[in-house]
């Protein structure tokens, strides 16, 4: 069965490789961001490591001041193979982070929604290093790595003029481990069935919820914790790692409440409320995969 353990002393700055060949090491970067080590591979998903939004929204009702510092400075990130972005919003496709990663990691390729290929050029990503995907597209950059794009509904399912999805999630097959990162998303018809058919082991899901107050201010929402728990039950996913909290005070939930509710459901072995920059090892017990 799938197992996870925390490594309290290992921070994202160390970025060490997993000790077991089929394991991965994963760090939450805050918001929707993750760094992942698998064998000699290194990738990131939705890294927001700058203060781009604080500068952009200074003096507005939502100043986007960080509640926590970045887990690592973009300039410190080296050896990055792939960077995945789920959609255009700047806490997911951050101009202040991605341009620095592109300069410091000349072999890195950027996996993006096809609908945002033009925007990627505008924020400084080299055209030849873009990998543009739409719902159902698969990118296989190595024999032991595959990335499948799935549509996401960031409260709604949006498409550009050519019909390409503006919001994506990604299924990552890293050796034997299969991860699903939903991007910003709410439940939608058929999602659980798709994930069940794929055989996902770990779901990375946002849990900051949504309400009319945020929606009317132009802040679309995400899964609630209860909806995330329902999805992993329906899809038969063994493990949930929650995200999208603790970065901006107007769009968060209290991690203490998340942990309490998980404890009340007796799901502490299956559900993780991570700490920024703290390593998690994900792999299989000797009994084999579920």
For domain 2-284, which architecture applies?
Answer: 4-Layer Sandwich (3.60)
Q: What is the rounded distance in angstroms from the CA atom of residue 199 to the CA atom of residue 170? A: 13
Write down the pLDDT at residue 289. Answer: 40
pLDDT by residue (tens digit) across 3-38?
666 655 556 655 555 555 678 999 999 999 999 999
Write down the pLDDT at residue 284. Answer: 78
Average pLDDT, integer, range 77-102: 97
Q: What is the rounded distance in angstroms from the CA atom of residue 122 to the CA atom of residue 39? A: 33
* Confidence at 249, pLDDT banded by 50, 70, 90: very high
Write down the pLDDT at residue 290. Answer: 37
Token pair 């901006």 is found at 248
Write down the pLDDT at residue 278. Answer: 87
Element of type H or E holding 168: strand 168-174
Write down the pLDDT at residue 269. Answer: 87
Residue 18 DSSP class: P
For 3, the 3-state DSSP assignment is strand
Q: Where are the domains of the chain?
A: 2-284
Answer whether 0.85 is exceeded by the pTM.
yes
Percent above pLDDT 90 for the chain: 84
Q: Give the DSSP per-residue string, 176-232.
A: TEEEEE--S----TTHHHHHHHHT-SEEEEE-----HHHHHTT------HHHHHHHH
pLDDT by residue (tens digit) across 39-55?
889 999 999 999 999 99
pLDDT by residue (tens digit) across 120-158?
999 999 999 999 999 999 999 999 999 999 999 999 999
């Amino acid at each position: 069965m799938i197992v996870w353990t925390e490594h309290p002393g290992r921070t994202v700055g160390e970025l060490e490789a997993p000790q077991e060949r089929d394991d991965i090491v994963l760090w939450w970067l805050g918001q929707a961001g993750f760094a992942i080590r698998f064998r000699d591979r290194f990738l990131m998903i939705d890294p927001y490591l700058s203060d781009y939004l604080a500068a952009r929204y200074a003096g507005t009702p939502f100043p986007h001041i960080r509640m926590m510092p970045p887990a690592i400075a973009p300039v410190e990130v080296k050896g990055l193979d792939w960077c995945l972005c789920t959609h255009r919003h700047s806490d997911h496709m951050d101009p202040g982070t991605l341009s620095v990663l592109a300069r410091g990691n000349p072999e890195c390729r950027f996996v993006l929604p096809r609908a945002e290929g033009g925007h990627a050029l505008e924020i400084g990503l080299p055209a030849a290093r873009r990998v543009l995907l739409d719902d159902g597209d698969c990118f296989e950059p190595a024999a032991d790595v595959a990335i499948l794009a799935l549509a996401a509904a960031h409260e709604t399912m949006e498409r550009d003029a050519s019909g390409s999805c503006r919001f994506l999630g990604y299924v990552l097959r890293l050796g034997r481990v299969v991860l699903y990162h939903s991007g910003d998303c709410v439940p939608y018809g058929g999602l659980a069935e798709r994930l069940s058919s794929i055989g996902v082991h770990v779901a990375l899901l946002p849990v900051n919820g949504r309400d009319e107050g945020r929606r009317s201010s132009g802040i679309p929402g995400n899964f609630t914790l209860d909806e995330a728990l329902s999805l992993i039950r329906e899809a038969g996913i063994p493990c949930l790692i929650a995200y999208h909290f603790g970065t901006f005070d107007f769009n968060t939930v209290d991690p203490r409440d998340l942990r309490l509710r998980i404890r009340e459901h007796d799901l502490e072995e299956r559900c993780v409320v991570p700490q920024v920059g703290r390593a998690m090892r994900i792999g299989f017990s000797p009994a084999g995969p579920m």
